[in-house]
Copies of this chain bind each other. A is one copy, B any other.
Amino acid sequence: MSPTEDEITGWFARQRQLSPATILIGIGDDMAQIAVGQGASVLITTDMLLDGTHFDLRTATLQQVGYKSMAASLSDCAAMATIPLAAVAAVALPAGFSEQQLKELHAGIMFAADKYDCPLVGGDITSWRGRGPFAICVSMLSKPGNSPPVRRNGAKVGDAVCVTGSLGGSGRGRHLEFEPRVREALKITACVTLHAMMDLSDGLSSDLNRICNQSGVGALVHAAAVPVSQDAKLAADPLSAALNDGEDFELLFTLSAEQWAKLEQTWDDPVPITRIGAITNTGRMQIRMPDGRINGLEPHGYEHLRRG
Protein backbone atom coordinates (compact mmCIF):
# COMPACT_ATOMS: atom_id res chain seq x y z
CA MET A 1 0.00 0.00 0.00
CA SER A 2 1.51 3.32 -1.03
CA PRO A 3 1.84 6.04 1.60
CA THR A 4 -0.56 8.96 1.90
CA GLU A 5 0.51 12.55 1.35
CA ASP A 6 0.46 13.05 5.14
CA GLU A 7 2.77 10.07 5.68
CA ILE A 8 5.22 11.30 3.05
CA THR A 9 5.05 14.86 4.41
CA GLY A 10 5.68 13.53 7.90
CA TRP A 11 8.70 11.60 6.64
CA PHE A 12 10.05 14.76 4.98
CA ALA A 13 9.48 16.76 8.19
CA ARG A 14 11.49 14.24 10.21
CA GLN A 15 14.55 14.37 7.95
CA ARG A 16 15.92 17.62 9.34
CA GLN A 17 15.77 19.46 12.64
CA LEU A 18 14.97 23.01 11.54
CA SER A 19 16.51 25.86 13.51
CA PRO A 20 13.74 27.07 15.85
CA ALA A 21 15.33 30.54 15.94
CA THR A 22 14.65 31.17 12.25
CA ILE A 23 12.04 28.60 11.23
CA LEU A 24 9.23 29.41 13.65
CA ILE A 25 6.80 27.01 11.93
CA GLY A 26 8.12 24.31 9.58
CA ILE A 27 6.71 21.52 7.42
CA GLY A 28 3.18 20.26 8.12
CA ASP A 29 1.02 23.33 8.70
CA ASP A 30 -0.90 25.49 6.21
CA MET A 31 2.05 27.87 6.00
CA ALA A 32 5.63 27.96 7.25
CA GLN A 33 6.77 30.94 9.33
CA ILE A 34 10.27 32.37 8.98
CA ALA A 35 11.94 35.00 11.19
CA VAL A 36 13.45 37.75 9.07
CA GLY A 37 15.19 39.88 11.69
CA GLN A 38 14.20 42.95 13.71
CA GLY A 39 11.53 40.82 15.39
CA ALA A 40 9.59 40.52 12.14
CA SER A 41 8.46 37.29 10.52
CA VAL A 42 6.83 36.21 7.30
CA LEU A 43 4.76 33.17 6.33
CA ILE A 44 4.84 31.32 3.02
CA THR A 45 2.64 28.78 1.25
CA THR A 46 2.80 27.19 -2.20
CA ASP A 47 0.04 25.49 -4.21
CA MET A 48 0.34 23.66 -7.51
CA LEU A 49 -2.88 23.42 -9.53
CA LEU A 50 -3.09 21.09 -12.53
CA ASP A 51 -5.37 20.92 -15.54
CA GLY A 52 -7.44 17.76 -15.21
CA THR A 53 -6.87 17.50 -11.47
CA HIS A 54 -7.80 20.84 -9.88
CA PHE A 55 -9.76 22.22 -12.82
CA ASP A 56 -10.67 21.21 -16.36
CA LEU A 57 -9.82 23.73 -19.06
CA ARG A 58 -12.46 22.18 -21.32
CA THR A 59 -15.09 23.73 -19.04
CA ALA A 60 -13.35 26.24 -16.74
CA THR A 61 -12.21 29.61 -18.08
CA LEU A 62 -8.62 30.77 -17.62
CA GLN A 63 -9.96 33.66 -15.57
CA GLN A 64 -11.50 31.15 -13.19
CA VAL A 65 -8.26 29.19 -13.06
CA GLY A 66 -6.23 32.32 -12.31
CA TYR A 67 -8.67 33.29 -9.58
CA LYS A 68 -8.69 29.80 -8.05
CA SER A 69 -4.91 29.56 -8.00
CA MET A 70 -4.73 32.76 -5.95
CA ALA A 71 -7.76 31.92 -3.81
CA ALA A 72 -6.29 28.54 -2.78
CA SER A 73 -3.20 30.27 -1.37
CA LEU A 74 -5.27 33.08 0.14
CA SER A 75 -7.22 30.35 1.91
CA ASP A 76 -3.93 29.12 3.43
CA CYS A 77 -3.29 32.65 4.71
CA ALA A 78 -6.78 32.61 6.25
CA ALA A 79 -6.19 29.14 7.72
CA MET A 80 -3.60 30.62 10.10
CA ALA A 81 -5.41 33.96 10.54
CA THR A 82 -2.63 35.86 8.79
CA ILE A 83 -2.63 38.91 6.50
CA PRO A 84 -1.73 38.30 2.83
CA LEU A 85 1.24 40.37 1.63
CA ALA A 86 2.21 39.38 -1.92
CA ALA A 87 2.13 36.51 -4.41
CA VAL A 88 4.26 35.06 -7.20
CA ALA A 89 2.90 32.78 -9.93
CA ALA A 90 4.78 30.25 -12.05
CA VAL A 91 3.09 28.67 -15.05
CA ALA A 92 3.82 25.71 -17.34
CA LEU A 93 2.18 26.35 -20.71
CA PRO A 94 1.09 23.70 -23.20
CA ALA A 95 2.03 24.07 -26.86
CA GLY A 96 -0.04 26.69 -28.63
CA PHE A 97 -0.96 28.66 -25.50
CA SER A 98 -1.53 32.20 -26.78
CA GLU A 99 -0.75 35.69 -25.51
CA GLN A 100 -4.51 36.28 -25.21
CA GLN A 101 -4.85 33.18 -23.03
CA LEU A 102 -2.03 34.39 -20.76
CA LYS A 103 -3.84 37.70 -20.38
CA GLU A 104 -7.09 35.94 -19.45
CA LEU A 105 -5.24 33.95 -16.80
CA HIS A 106 -3.63 37.16 -15.58
CA ALA A 107 -7.02 38.87 -15.33
CA GLY A 108 -8.24 36.13 -12.99
CA ILE A 109 -5.10 36.40 -10.87
CA MET A 110 -5.48 40.17 -10.67
CA PHE A 111 -9.16 39.96 -9.74
CA ALA A 112 -8.17 38.00 -6.63
CA ALA A 113 -5.06 40.12 -6.03
CA ASP A 114 -7.12 43.31 -6.01
CA LYS A 115 -10.04 41.91 -4.03
CA TYR A 116 -7.81 40.53 -1.26
CA ASP A 117 -5.16 43.24 -1.40
CA CYS A 118 -2.40 40.77 -2.25
CA PRO A 119 -0.37 42.08 -5.22
CA LEU A 120 1.28 39.84 -7.79
CA VAL A 121 4.97 40.74 -7.53
CA GLY A 122 6.68 38.22 -9.79
CA GLY A 123 6.56 34.89 -11.51
CA ASP A 124 7.98 32.51 -14.04
CA ILE A 125 6.64 31.59 -17.49
CA THR A 126 7.77 28.25 -18.90
CA SER A 127 6.57 26.15 -21.83
CA TRP A 128 6.48 22.38 -22.25
CA ARG A 129 8.76 21.34 -25.10
CA GLY A 130 6.80 18.17 -25.67
CA ARG A 131 3.25 17.40 -24.66
CA GLY A 132 2.32 18.68 -21.25
CA PRO A 133 -0.88 20.12 -19.78
CA PHE A 134 -1.31 23.55 -18.20
CA ALA A 135 -0.08 23.92 -14.61
CA ILE A 136 0.13 26.91 -12.30
CA CYS A 137 1.93 27.27 -8.99
CA VAL A 138 1.16 30.26 -6.77
CA SER A 139 3.35 30.99 -3.76
CA MET A 140 2.16 33.58 -1.29
CA LEU A 141 3.56 35.54 1.62
CA SER A 142 1.61 36.74 4.64
CA LYS A 143 2.31 38.28 8.02
CA PRO A 144 0.80 37.56 11.45
CA GLY A 145 -2.58 39.19 12.10
CA ASN A 146 -4.30 39.75 15.46
CA SER A 147 -2.69 36.71 17.05
CA PRO A 148 0.28 34.45 16.51
CA PRO A 149 -0.46 32.25 13.46
CA VAL A 150 -3.07 29.66 14.46
CA ARG A 151 -1.67 26.16 14.00
CA ARG A 152 -3.18 22.72 13.53
CA ASN A 153 -1.66 21.19 16.64
CA GLY A 154 -3.29 23.13 19.47
CA ALA A 155 -6.75 21.52 19.80
CA LYS A 156 -7.64 20.66 23.41
CA VAL A 157 -10.07 18.14 24.89
CA GLY A 158 -13.40 19.87 25.46
CA ASP A 159 -12.90 22.41 22.63
CA ALA A 160 -15.80 23.28 20.40
CA VAL A 161 -15.17 22.28 16.76
CA CYS A 162 -16.51 24.88 14.32
CA VAL A 163 -16.68 25.59 10.60
CA THR A 164 -17.53 28.63 8.52
CA GLY A 165 -20.04 28.46 5.67
CA SER A 166 -21.52 25.19 4.45
CA LEU A 167 -19.85 22.06 3.16
CA GLY A 168 -19.83 19.64 0.24
CA GLY A 169 -20.56 19.66 -3.48
CA SER A 170 -17.87 22.20 -4.30
CA GLY A 171 -17.18 20.31 -7.53
CA ARG A 172 -20.46 21.63 -8.97
CA GLY A 173 -18.71 24.95 -9.57
CA ARG A 174 -18.02 26.56 -6.21
CA HIS A 175 -14.43 25.23 -6.24
CA LEU A 176 -13.67 27.76 -9.00
CA GLU A 177 -15.29 30.77 -7.36
CA PHE A 178 -15.08 30.32 -3.61
CA GLU A 179 -14.30 33.19 -1.27
CA PRO A 180 -11.19 32.54 0.81
CA ARG A 181 -12.05 33.36 4.41
CA VAL A 182 -9.27 35.89 4.99
CA ARG A 183 -11.52 38.59 6.44
CA GLU A 184 -13.49 36.12 8.55
CA ALA A 185 -10.34 34.56 10.08
CA LEU A 186 -9.05 37.96 11.12
CA LYS A 187 -12.46 38.95 12.50
CA ILE A 188 -12.66 35.72 14.53
CA THR A 189 -9.18 36.11 15.99
CA ALA A 190 -9.91 39.76 16.84
CA CYS A 191 -12.78 38.47 19.02
CA VAL A 192 -11.58 35.19 20.56
CA THR A 193 -8.56 32.97 21.05
CA LEU A 194 -8.43 29.88 18.84
CA HIS A 195 -6.62 26.67 19.74
CA ALA A 196 -6.30 25.20 16.23
CA MET A 197 -7.34 26.07 12.70
CA MET A 198 -6.89 25.02 9.08
CA ASP A 199 -8.77 25.47 5.84
CA LEU A 200 -10.93 22.68 4.44
CA SER A 201 -9.17 21.73 1.23
CA ASP A 202 -9.44 17.94 1.20
CA GLY A 203 -12.78 17.43 2.99
CA LEU A 204 -13.90 17.77 6.62
CA SER A 205 -13.24 14.13 7.57
CA SER A 206 -9.63 14.23 6.31
CA ASP A 207 -8.84 17.72 7.53
CA LEU A 208 -10.32 17.24 11.02
CA ASN A 209 -8.27 14.06 11.17
CA ARG A 210 -5.15 16.19 10.59
CA ILE A 211 -6.03 18.50 13.50
CA CYS A 212 -6.71 15.45 15.70
CA ASN A 213 -3.47 13.71 14.73
CA GLN A 214 -1.33 16.79 15.12
CA SER A 215 -2.98 17.74 18.42
CA GLY A 216 -3.03 14.19 19.84
CA VAL A 217 -6.77 14.25 20.46
CA GLY A 218 -10.02 12.77 19.16
CA ALA A 219 -13.23 14.42 18.00
CA LEU A 220 -16.96 13.76 18.04
CA VAL A 221 -18.89 15.30 15.16
CA HIS A 222 -22.66 15.75 15.43
CA ALA A 223 -24.02 14.77 12.02
CA ALA A 224 -27.17 16.81 12.49
CA ALA A 225 -25.10 19.95 13.08
CA VAL A 226 -22.91 19.71 9.95
CA PRO A 227 -23.92 22.57 7.61
CA VAL A 228 -24.69 20.80 4.34
CA SER A 229 -24.40 23.09 1.30
CA GLN A 230 -27.15 23.44 -1.30
CA ASP A 231 -24.78 21.74 -3.74
CA ALA A 232 -24.24 18.80 -1.39
CA LYS A 233 -28.00 18.37 -0.98
CA LEU A 234 -28.11 17.41 -4.66
CA ALA A 235 -25.78 14.47 -4.00
CA ALA A 236 -27.00 10.90 -3.41
CA ASP A 237 -25.66 11.11 0.16
CA PRO A 238 -25.59 14.77 1.21
CA LEU A 239 -23.98 14.11 4.62
CA SER A 240 -21.20 12.08 3.02
CA ALA A 241 -20.64 14.88 0.49
CA ALA A 242 -20.38 17.44 3.31
CA LEU A 243 -17.95 15.20 5.22
CA ASN A 244 -15.75 14.04 2.36
CA ASP A 245 -15.88 16.34 -0.67
CA GLY A 246 -12.77 18.45 -1.04
CA GLU A 247 -12.21 22.10 -1.88
CA ASP A 248 -14.75 23.71 0.44
CA PHE A 249 -12.04 26.21 1.43
CA GLU A 250 -14.02 27.01 4.57
CA LEU A 251 -12.32 27.40 7.97
CA LEU A 252 -12.22 24.53 10.46
CA PHE A 253 -11.22 25.60 13.97
CA THR A 254 -11.39 24.71 17.65
CA LEU A 255 -11.69 26.90 20.72
CA SER A 256 -12.66 26.53 24.38
CA ALA A 257 -16.33 26.29 25.29
CA GLU A 258 -16.12 29.72 26.94
CA GLN A 259 -14.59 31.31 23.89
CA TRP A 260 -17.19 29.64 21.70
CA ALA A 261 -19.96 31.09 23.85
CA LYS A 262 -18.45 34.52 23.35
CA LEU A 263 -18.01 34.07 19.61
CA GLU A 264 -21.52 32.70 19.12
CA GLN A 265 -22.98 35.67 20.96
CA THR A 266 -21.04 38.35 19.07
CA TRP A 267 -20.77 36.89 15.54
CA ASP A 268 -22.96 39.00 13.28
CA ASP A 269 -21.35 38.23 9.93
CA PRO A 270 -23.22 37.09 6.81
CA VAL A 271 -20.84 34.11 6.69
CA PRO A 272 -22.22 31.73 9.32
CA ILE A 273 -20.17 29.85 11.88
CA THR A 274 -21.48 26.49 13.07
CA ARG A 275 -20.38 24.38 16.01
CA ILE A 276 -20.29 20.85 14.59
CA GLY A 277 -18.89 18.91 17.51
CA ALA A 278 -16.26 18.71 20.21
CA ILE A 279 -12.67 17.63 20.74
CA THR A 280 -12.51 14.43 22.81
CA ASN A 281 -9.97 12.32 24.65
CA THR A 282 -10.86 9.18 22.66
CA GLY A 283 -7.87 9.52 20.36
CA ARG A 284 -10.08 8.94 17.31
CA MET A 285 -12.73 10.59 15.25
CA GLN A 286 -16.36 9.63 15.80
CA ILE A 287 -19.68 10.85 14.49
CA ARG A 288 -23.06 10.88 16.25
CA MET A 289 -25.64 10.03 13.62
CA PRO A 290 -29.12 11.61 13.63
CA ASP A 291 -30.54 8.41 15.19
CA GLY A 292 -28.16 8.70 18.13
CA ARG A 293 -25.72 5.93 17.15
CA ILE A 294 -22.04 6.82 17.41
CA ASN A 295 -19.93 5.54 14.54
CA GLY A 296 -16.25 5.80 13.71
CA LEU A 297 -15.51 8.66 11.29
CA GLU A 298 -12.94 7.70 8.68
CA PRO A 299 -10.87 10.25 6.73
CA HIS A 300 -12.42 9.73 3.30
CA GLY A 301 -11.54 13.10 1.77
CA TYR A 302 -9.33 13.76 -1.22
CA GLU A 303 -6.00 11.94 -1.19
CA HIS A 304 -3.38 13.61 -3.39
CA LEU A 305 -1.35 10.45 -3.88
CA ARG A 306 -4.31 8.23 -4.67
CA ARG A 307 -3.65 6.32 -7.86
CA GLY A 308 -5.89 5.59 -10.76
Contact = CB atoms under 8 A, between A and B. Distances in A.
A137 B27 CA distance: 16
A127 B53 contact: yes
A115 interface: no
Given A90-B137, A139-B139, A19 B119 contact: yes
Given A124-B46, A124-B47, A8 B102 contact: yes
B137 A48 contact: yes
A137 B15 contact: no
A122 interface: yes
A212 B90 CA distance: 25
B36 A40 contact: yes
Interface residues of A, number: 80
Interface string A24-40: 00110101101011111
Contacts of A103: 11
Contacts of A120: 12, 16, 27
Contact of A121 (B18, B37, B106, B130): B18
A3 B93 CA distance: 14
A88 B38 contact: no
A279 to B, nearest CB: 25
Give the 6 A-B residue pairs with the shortest CB-CB distance, closest first.
A139-B139, A32-B121, A137-B137, A48-B90, A40-B40, A38-B38
13 contacts: A2-B98, A16-B119, A23-B86, A26-B121, A32-B121, A37-B143, A38-B40, A39-B40, A44-B86, A45-B122, A90-B139, A127-B307, A131-B133
Interface of A: 2-3, 5, 8-9, 11-12, 15-16, 18-19, 22-23, 26-27, 29, 31-32, 34, 36-42, 44-54, 85-86, 88-93, 95-96, 98-99, 102-103, 106, 110, 113-114, 119-133, 135, 137, 139, 141, 143, 304-308
